[in-house]
Structure 1
């Protein structure tokens, strides 16, 4: 690559030299004041040839320079190419706090380090240059995180656009470092990006790059503070760095990170006098009651590390009868017990041991259990499961451990272990006993999460839909989730912890727990995403089911994988997973599961324009659902079958299926399904020319979506309502609806919906006379449809693009667009869309003085429209036939067709077209 670039650069340089010479030749040729020698003189005599050669060289040089710029093209998210550190296994998730953790009381005098940081930030801000990354490094226990958090509070007013804190788990025992793609997903969500808008895919590198670009764009021109805690490598954090120069990034790490533009702020052990002052303050003893020499010896014995000093002081505070000398003696004994440790570890670990041995026995067991927790942070409910105690008792233990400085407090009544304390707690049991304890602890906490997820799913699983399987967990205490909003908030907060537990259970070969937890997380990940995280989870569940030989669980995991793949528009992968799920359900005799997989496969085939396969799958699913008495499944299959019937212009059959589905959804009190059926009925009624009924159905659907706070489907309803308004002459209302829908789609990242809005706005601009803007919008929609593989959308855009080309006189381009659209809609079996294209094509021929050819197109449109009962296209065809006859100078023959068109238009409420035809007929009467 470098050699090719070097050759290209040399070529450009040579071209520049030749260009310079030619300019001189041309100049001399014009001035004729001097002569050039040899063959150059011939060029001078033929000035026009010099001009031509100059132009060629400039064009070639420009092309080479453009090639050298190497613009980055979007990477197709298709084939996986994971980076070396992205090993196999269940997905992870980063814990992101939307505000800084609480400033700690144990922060002591770091005046020099804090002044250095503040001066650095102030200097860079005043210079107007981009703020560099500031790296806080130092040994474990030295107080890097405490310093970064305190500095963040001090500097927060300089960064008013927000503060974020991310734990990257670079050196956390029992947890893999957070991958950049996981951290970016959590950061984007914390910054307010809807999860549906976060890029997803199989290619980890491409997804990371796309998310990083979105993250940089989100923080462009912002002044925000980002703390990246516990980083392992610079590669881990580099994609997380904001692009704008106004953001401050504080990184803490045990390692010196290699970066080009960093400011390193080393945090070392406290000076002896500062360490002694911290000990005195935290011990709760009057300074004059403590022997300063003994205090100095104590803080030296724990290496003057803030973590060790805090623990020692807490021991003295909790034992009023002890003297500082008593504490020193105990610490000496503890150091002797831990003599096998390296010298650098022995000091601080001795303080851990002293604090641990001073705990009551039941609190020691609880502390050990915390060390085996794979999550990032926890509350009293998770603590109760870990320690096999009541929530009230867990809360007492957590409060006491916090008072003893053995755990750290996090926002929201949550706690976490320092990495060193996690290592220490996990190492308190060794060998076979440790393995048994790990299995028992993970089993308890996973059982707790299963119970808590069951409670949350009660609020987010649709009414009538089958809930994930659950055992009797009535004895498990779970947090109250009394509303859908509360359930979603709990799920978002616990997401990284549940995924960490699944990862740990998978490592321990606890296959059943992996399978059940994945199934319980599925409803949340379906709607919340990121979907590539869900793909990783369901792949893990499928692997666990295969290892356990559980074909029923394998079928369920494959079905969920297919659904998520459909959401990602990865249709071949979705079809493969769903077909495998059907096979597995057949093998275990699960008719209901097979029906659900067929229903989902039918949706994929509908989206990929295989309407015959879609109808077959939905019909078979409906039969199976009726056999097992699953009313919710019946409603889903009927609704999806109704969409297929609409696609193939079988409007009566579509209305019948959707009406039955609507009845069942209402019987089950499933508002989401009810709204979907109402919206689709509105679409069919619109195609049938029943505009008043169509508008009513769309408004009813919109009201339900709004009550459900479902903005994606609100947007779909708005687009359909806008279409009805345009057809009935309410142009202002139509534009308002389409623009609002586009805003929702853009915010939520729904590319297909946004393309629909843009196309419909293009039609509005064309109807309003803004042909240039119409062409731009329709071209944009067409490009998106093609990217997404939406053939129906592509056909609709091509049909409209043909109309626009015709209006600006580009007849050949219009015909090419109509031909492309006609080919697609014939494959789809969409005869209504086929009639529309014939009508547009006929209008093109008529406008270009070929009324005979136009009449042939209108005749085809009329036959199709009457065959499928599509009155709007029937009226347009009748009008076209009449106008063609009028243009051929056959007004007597034209009049009946035109009057029939007026009658249909009036019945539909399409006043403008009817009025225009009547003015034409009136002109003949005069």
Structure 2
């Protein structure tokens, strides 16, 4: 290592030339005589910067040397800069810093003076010599805080920079700066700068090379050095070599250095439990994970796992982008996976992954019970060997499901590949709510069929009924209403045969949804009234509230406005009593629809916005898109067509993405209404016709009624009376078929107006 020292007889502003020393310390010193008070000097002394990086390789030593060479921050340190000392030469377990102190004293102390042998005396002498010197001291590769404390200059104007492979705690007043990987552009620039001029570089190939290097400075440096050492290679050759290695760390070598060796220094400093945690984390396929998942992988207790994770964080073998959410750099993952393959058996790894998959199933079940409290459950097998996360409320549970959605999806994939079939069927049931909430019923549907078949094969009728309910929901979201009704009727028969009232209630509630979507309001009403009578005897407030809400919807579509209002008010009261937010905003949504039908557009807007504000606290994308689409309908009536178009278009995009064709038809029709309200009936016509075509195809009776009626009005606006009459008659006929009397009346008025050649009143 090199050092430079100012000749004390010369001007402090003109440092002497650099000289060599075996001590490995460089200096950059200002003249003595800084007369700030002791408190200010002490604060400056404690202004430490600990650079860590990614278990080595992020450039901490280089950064420290750069600070020394640059004279500190903003040029404020203009004297000596000590670019050392050999803290790394001390005992890696945190032994005596005598060697580093001796090095410092030989640089600064008077020549020929014998140095003390006692650590405390060496420290005292170092601090006395540093007292009046203004320096920037770089302590490179410190292993622990105790090593550093003895090397601090005390009450001195000297500033200290400490680099370390681990986070150093217990240094009061220190400011920690963790070095991360480079941004892509900076990583490319580093590679190009290291390569120099040579004409063997292609920027796109360099971008791929630094990506494979994980944007880690040392890995990039090694890759560039390897290319420089092979005079016949181009960046294409290096990229091919790195890619052919399948991401193996042994490809990141340059003849003298390997990245694996740098990582090994940090790994071998860990204890047995910490090493186990590091290796097992590499088995986790997710980008992020929590401590409970790691405890499942290792079989350790949660407190022991958290202690180990903290040590991995301290040694930069792990990152924590958000509280209690951890991630592993790609290169470290590859290194940890190689250790797992070397040090653990295939049986151990398989058992760890089984525990992880079981943990995610059980934790998701706990969360989903809060998010969807009314579902009839097939409970997963218990996991008494692990600790499940606790959720304070429904929002915490829902957020956990969102944070872990990728990992939960991976869990399903793992069960699909590895089984057993029972665990897959349980996981599919638990995660159906999540898949629906995130708008992925297509992912669940084939697995739900497989689950229902499994429960039939093993003779578990209750579990089969619940799987059929889940399958019915998926069918409904794909607008296959007859299939949904068939699956849910079969589930209802099983529930009645089993004498399971809870399951029977859920079957009735679920079957009412496709009955409503196909316009079978009378059947729906009769089922709900029978069930409500039983619920009132049982006293289940949540289920009573759901029944009131469904009955309100039924009476609304039967144009029985007073009955609909009564049931909605009862539902809102009961949902509020049990603090069920989902039920509250669902009821508000329905009350807003009632307001539209009675001509209260402003009241409808207020109810929709209140419902939306509650729904925004949750994360069900389907519900949010539906509320926004419904709000758009109220805004059209108020003349706010621009906002209505924006809301309806965003909803349309979402429903198309998830394959919800019924809501896609509604959104198309709403967009057409907005154009017509803005005086653009010509643009509205193809939208209404597209909505009607889609509604016919999926047998969505209520949507056929609305789309045909709106198509009639748009054609009438543009002077196409014959087409308008045909659409009006279709709307009238379907309205009468499903018992929608108000819709039939408005269609009759339109037909009469067309036949009498006069414009109808919109209704």
Give the structure-1-normalised TM-score. Answer: 0.50
Structure 2 CA distance for partners of 1:502 and 1:546, relative to 1, 3 Å: farther
What residue number does 1:67 align with? none
Of the candidates 607, 612, 624, which is equivalent to residue 711 of structure 1? 624
Q: Give the whole-Å Cα distance in 2 for the aligned partners of 1:266 and 1:443.
A: 26
1:803 matches 2:713: yes
Cα RMSD (Å) of the superposition? 4.8
What residue number does 2:262 align with? 310
What residue number does 1:538 align with? 448
Q: Give the whole-Å Cα distance in 2 for the aligned partners of 1:699 and 1:531.
A: 31
Q: Give the whole-Å Cα distance in 1 for the aligned partners of 2:206 and 2:485.
A: 46
1:526 Cα deviation from its structure 2 partner: 2.2
1:381 matches 2:280: no
Q: Give the whole-Å Cα distance in 2 for the aligned partners of 1:266 and 1:478.
A: 35
Of the candidates 578, 581, 591, which is equivalent to residue 491 of structure 2? 581
What residue number does 2:340 align with? 425
1:834 Cα deviation from its structure 2 partner: 1.4
Residue by residue over 1:792-842, the C-alpha shift from the partner in whole angstroms, topping out at 9 and shown as x without a partner, is: 223222223223333444332222222322222222222211111111111
Structure 1 gaps, min length 5:
1-99, 123-131, 137-142, 155-249, 258-264, 280-305, 319-358, 849-853, 859-871, 877-926
Of the candidates 367, 387, 390, which is equivalent to residue 301 of structure 2? 390
- 1:418-457 superposed matches below 5 A: 418-419=333-334, 421-422=336-337, 425-426=340-341, 428=343, 435=347, 437=348, 440-442=351-353, 444-450=355-361, 452-453=363-364, 456-457=367-368
Of the candidates 551, 567, 585, which is equivalent to residue 461 of structure 2? 551
Q: Give the whole-Å Cα distance in 1 for the aligned partners of 2:467 and 2:195.
A: 52
1:613 Cα deviation from its structure 2 partner: 4.0
What residue number does 2:645 align with? 739
Structure 2 CA distance for partners of 1:825 and 1:113, relative to 1, 3 Å: farther
1:145 matches 2:51: no
Q: Give the whole-Å Cα distance in 2 for the aligned partners of 1:114 and 1:646.
A: 74
Q: Contact 1:599/1:621 (CA < 8 Å) preserved in 2?
A: no
1:699 matches 2:606: yes
1:520 Cα deviation from its structure 2 partner: 3.3
Q: Contact 1:408/1:418 (CA < 8 Å) preserved in 2?
A: no
Q: Contact 2:735/2:743 (CA < 8 Å) preserved in 1?
A: yes
Q: Give the whole-Å Cα distance in 2 for the aligned partners of 1:608 and 1:255.
A: 57
What residue number does 1:157 align with? none
Q: Give the whole-Å Cα distance in 1 for the aligned partners of 2:696 and 2:359.
A: 46
1:120 matches 2:202: yes
SS at match of 1:847: coil
What residue number does 2:326 align with? 413
Residue by residue over 1:346-371, the C-alpha shift from the partner in whole angstroms, topping out at 9 and shown as x without a partner, is: xxxxxxxxxxxxx7555565567557
What residue number does 1:603 align with? 513
- 1:349-388 superposed matches below 5 A: 362=273, 366=277, 370=281, 378-388=289-299
Residue by residue over 1:422-476, the C-alpha shift from the partner in whole angstroms, topping out at 9 and shown as x without a partner, is: 365257555xxx54x46753454345335543564466336x6678847887985
What residue number does 1:655 align with? 565
Q: Give the whole-Å Cα distance in 2 for the aligned partners of 1:592 and 1:775.
A: 47
1:567 Cα deviation from its structure 2 partner: 2.1
1:671 Cα deviation from its structure 2 partner: 3.0
Q: Contact 2:277/2:309 (CA < 8 Å) preserved in 1?
A: no
Q: Contact 2:586/2:611 (CA < 8 Å) preserved in 1?
A: no
Residue by residue over 1:170-213, the C-alpha shift from the partner in whole angstroms, topping out at 9 and shown as x without a partner, is: xxxxxxxxxxxxxxxxxxxxxxxxxxxxxxxxxxxxxxxxxxxx
1:566 matches 2:476: yes
Of the candidates 434, 457, 466, which is equivalent to residue 524 of structure 1? 434
1:603 Cα deviation from its structure 2 partner: 0.8
Structure 2 CA distance for partners of 1:384 and 1:651, relative to 1, 3 Å: same
Structure with a larger share of its residues in helix: 1
Q: Contact 1:825/1:833 (CA < 8 Å) preserved in 2?
A: yes
Residue by residue over 1:269-326, the C-alpha shift from the partner in whole angstroms, topping out at 9 and shown as x without a partner, is: 456xx342x35xxxxxxxxxxxxxxxxxxxxxxxxxx43x3355557x85xxxxxxxx
Q: Contact 2:191/2:220 (CA < 8 Å) preserved in 1?
A: no
- 1:444-483 superposed matches below 5 A: 444-450=355-361, 452-453=363-364, 456-457=367-368, 460-461=371-372, 469=379, 476-478=386-388
Q: Contact 2:435/2:444 (CA < 8 Å) preserved in 1?
A: yes
What residue number does 1:496 align with? 406
Structure 2 CA distance for partners of 1:255 and 1:593, relative to 1, 3 Å: farther
1:677 matches 2:577: no
Task: State the aligned residue count.
Answer: 549
1:539 Cα deviation from its structure 2 partner: 4.0
Q: Give the whole-Å Cα distance in 2 for the aligned partners of 1:800 and 1:422.
A: 61
Structure 2 CA distance for partners of 1:544 and 1:363, relative to 1, 3 Å: farther
Q: Contact 2:290/2:326 (CA < 8 Å) preserved in 1?
A: yes
1:745 Cα deviation from its structure 2 partner: 1.6
SS at match of 1:749: helix
Q: Give the whole-Å Cα distance in 1 for the aligned partners of 2:310 and 2:407.
A: 21
What residue number does 2:31 align with? none
Structure 2 CA distance for partners of 1:400 and 1:549, relative to 1, 3 Å: farther
Q: Contact 2:648/2:671 (CA < 8 Å) preserved in 1?
A: no
Residue by residue over 1:752-801, the C-alpha shift from the partner in whole angstroms, topping out at 9 and shown as x without a partner, is: 55654554564565566544344344334434544654332232222232
Q: Give the whole-Å Cα distance in 2 for the aligned partners of 1:510 and 1:425.
A: 24
SS at match of 1:413: strand
Q: Contact 1:794/1:821 (CA < 8 Å) preserved in 2?
A: yes
Structure 2 CA distance for partners of 1:251 and 1:480, relative to 1, 3 Å: farther
What residue number does 1:722 align with? 635
SS at match of 1:389: coil
What residue number does 1:630 align with? 540
Q: Give the whole-Å Cα distance in 2 for the aligned partners of 1:362 and 1:654.
A: 63
- 1:785-796 superposed matches below 5 A: 785-786=695-696, 789-796=699-706
Q: Contact 1:635/1:665 (CA < 8 Å) preserved in 2?
A: yes
